[in-house]
Amino acid sequence: MQNQRLTTQNKFLKEGERLDELQRNGYVIIQNPGRFCFGMDAVLLSGFAKAKRGERVLDLGTGTGIIPILMEAKTDGEMFTGLEIQEESADMARRSVRCNGLEHKIKIVQGDIRDASAMFGASSFDIVTTNPPYMISEHGINCASDAKQIARHEVLCTLEDVLRESARIIKPGGRFYMVHRPFRLAEIFVKMTSLRLEPKRIKLVHPYIDREPNMVLIEGRRGGKSGLTVEKPLIVYKKQGVYTDEIYDLYGY
């Protein structure tokens, strides 16, 4: 039965691609190591974000669809949509959705984040999630069209674009979830509050207990009142090569 299932799933692959197991509901995802494979930040965001029964979720810059697929497995959200500008990544995401039999729960749309509110309409989703490019400048970019560079650097959209479109798309009282880098936290808070996406909850992620944080998980609420909860930090490794129990739980091991 397992071999038959793998044979069926492998028919969705193209040259250079592989199937990775997600340890959730038997789900898999199609990835191409030559382009951009999802990282821990996407897994952490999918565990930090909450979607209740009946809520509709939009993931901006969904890549190969990892966050909608994991959130479908982990939450009670009704419908998940992923927006991705790169044609090859959007195609992989659609095939992953079909491979997992999730066409009734997840929709992948190819398009530009900067046009998201025009595409979907104002106040059209309960929740927006995003794992946007972290780097501001083009330092280190060899090719502005390279998939990995687009995922890491603000080549095709900026933090301002992501927050502006999110504020327009989220319903009043709806929630915004993002993973980013701590060095931009002051800028993020200023931009969020200016757009009435009030920061409500953050969690800092440290690689080791004695190291500075290298990621931050942020929840905002459209039109929310001021008041921020700083949650207990998340530590990734007990020691080199050994995750903490919380990380193992997030990965489903």
Cα–chain center distance at 143: 24
Q: What pLDDT is stored for residue 14 in this prediction?
A: 86
Backbone angles phi, psi at 84, to 5 degrees: -140, 130
Contacts of 214 (CB under 8 A, 6+ apart): 181, 182, 205, 206, 207
Task: Report, in angstroms and rounded to the nearest whole number, the Rg of the chain calculated over CA atoms.
Answer: 18
- Tell me the CB-side half-sphere exposure of residue 58, using CA atoms within 13 A: 29
d(CA 12, CA 176): 32
Instruction: List beta partners, residue 135.
Output: 153
Q: Give pLDDT tens digits for 145-155.
A: 455 554 454 45
Q: Give pLDDT tens digits for 126-145.
A: 999 999 986 565 544 444 44
Contact in structure between 81 and 72 (CB atoms under 8 Å): no
Containing structural domain, residue 238 = 2-251
Using CA atoms, how far residue 234 sits from 129, 130, 139, 175, 244, in Å, is 19, 19, 29, 21, 9
Q: What pLDDT is stored for residue 202 in this prediction?
A: 98
Give pLDDT tens digits along the chain (253 positions): 444 555 567 788 988 889 999 999 999 999 998 888 889 999 999 999 999 999 999 999 999 999 999 999 999 999 999 999 999 999 999 999 999 999 999 999 999 999 999 999 999 999 999 999 865 655 444 444 455 554 454 456 799 999 999 999 999 999 999 999 999 999 999 999 999 999 999 999 999 999 999 999 999 999 999 999 999 999 999 999 999 999 999 887 6
Pairing of β 237-239 and β 242-243: antiparallel
Q: What is the CATH number of the domain that holds 82?
A: 3.40.50.150
Nearest 5°: the CA angle 148, 24, 94 is: 50
In the chain, the number of structural domains is: 1
